[in-house]
Amino acid sequence: MTTAPTVFKACVQAIRNGSLIRRDSRSDKEFHFQNWFKARLDEMGVPYDSPGRNSYPDFRLVRQTDGYELKGLAYPGRDASYDCNSQVPRGEHNGREVYYVFGRYPKDPDGNTYPVLDLVICHGSFLNADSSYVHKNKSFRGFGSYGDILVRDRKMYVAPTPYALAIGTAHTRTLIMPASTPVDSGFVKVGEMVRQEASQLVAAYSFDLLNNQLHPQYHTNPNAGRVHTFAAYRLTGDPMDPVSLRNPQEILQELDGESDDE
């Protein structure tokens, strides 16, 4: 049994009880939301491996094969996409089910304590169905006038958030799970979303150093057209506004528009 519904309940209850995010200082731009989530696991008495700067996922439970990757987002601000510096989003990693925890908080709070404005916990496969890709950074030497400069290929992936993918996730609390996964009592289903795999996949890319052009190479997706069905849930007592998947073209337009603003 997955821990995600129980963890989601604990987070929602904390928000209802007024448990605030607490940052050490204004320079704390990364760990304040992680610390808020860590406090929820501590309250539940759930053992976990402490997160490190380069660990993935951020929280790896000890007694269950679940992991949680945290993504705190300032609002208003960039919330249609987020940077994946180490791993492409996925639903499974090293034998663990991976869940993503997205929480938005005020962009310019007037102090070092502030609320979680809304929350989405989703299975990683909602963001990306493939868990087979292995991220590796590569390099080669030989660049420059004397042939002794190292070029490092350090990939960064920019993935859409549930706020871009689904209508109805903003300003409330939503759990998104594969439709086949059972949930506990107290949950109400507020939507069903079907994501379909693309006809082509990026298999490689090259970069032309002379004209600064990036060239992706594609191959046919062997799983083209495969559908993945997800259910959206809310806890009893929360608003039951429906959740639905955005049109793929609308998603891409929003993502492209956000990239233009950066």
Domain residue spans in the chain?
4-196+227-261
**Secondary structure letter of residue 29 according to DSSP:** -
Report whether 164 contacts 246 (CB < 8 A). Answer: yes
Q: Please list the pLDDT of the chain residue by residue as tens digits (262 residues).
A: 899 999 999 999 999 999 999 998 776 667 899 999 999 999 999 999 987 777 899 999 999 999 999 999 999 999 999 998 878 999 999 999 999 999 999 999 989 999 999 999 999 999 999 999 988 889 999 999 999 999 998 888 999 999 999 999 999 999 999 999 999 899 999 999 999 999 999 999 999 999 999 999 999 999 999 999 999 999 999 999 999 999 999 999 989 888 765 5
Written as six digits, the tokens of 259 are 């990239």
- Cα–Cα distance, 89 to 96 (Å, whole number): 13
